[in-house]
Amino acid sequence: MSEIEKQWYVVRAIGGKENKVKEYIEAEVRHSHLEDYVSQVLIPTEKVYTIRNGKRISKEKVSYPGYVLIEAAFVGKIPTLIRNIPNVLGFLGDTKEDSQQLKATPLRPQEVARILGRVDEMNATEEENETPFFVGETVKVTDGPFSSFQGTIEAVDNERKKLTVSVKIFGRKTPMELSFTQVVKE
């Protein structure tokens, strides 16, 4: 049997319901035995880091709120099946006239490569330092035995994500090597 040609499409969903739409699509595909026609359902996400109570917390954030990517062959009842899933508003590129014909515009290969490349890049990079540190800045230590101490940045190593911070301990300045995640700007 020859391979069925699939393309990437964008499904418009109610904002905040992207994960539910993905679950519903995957369940419906399994239930209807359409795995040969729908290969992937993807919600592009990125990691966002915030500091809460002195701890660095990573959180997944949807890159394109209200959109779900689907790799499928839109033949037969598949467009109707997807459009009738709860919280689905339609397909990207639809117009009011198209809604009766169930047409969906596939993404161009370079758009898919850009989006998927961005997803892979987000998964590959551990964490980006969203607040750059500079020599001479005052920072507060948030982790380790010297938490709540203040110090001055002496050196920055962006590749290793380390800082050399001079902290006053017992009246003497003592240099310490700390990770970017162990300090916050004052």
Domain assignments of the chain as residue spans, ordered by start: 7-124, 138-185
Burial class (CB in 10 A: 0-12, 13-18, 19+), 146: middle
Higher pLDDT, 1 or 75: 75
Residue 166 confidence (pLDDT): 93
Mean pLDDT of the chain: 83
Q: Is residue 145 pLDDT above 90, yes or no?
A: no
pTM, rounded to two decimals: 0.60
Which of the listed ranges 16-30, 45-59, 107-121, 133-147 does the model predict with the highest average pLDDT?
16-30
CATH architecture, domain 138-185:
Roll (2.30)
Burial class (CB in 10 A: 0-12, 13-18, 19+), 49: middle
As a whole number of angstroms, the distance between CA 83 and CA 77 comes to 10
Residue 143 confidence (pLDDT): 80
Q: What is the tens place of the pLDDT at every residue in 72-111?
A: 998 888 888 999 999 999 888 776 555 555 577 888 888 8
Burial class (CB in 10 A: 0-12, 13-18, 19+), 10: buried
Residue 2 confidence (pLDDT): 54
Q: What's the fold here for domain 7-124?
A: Alpha-Beta Plaits (3.30.70)
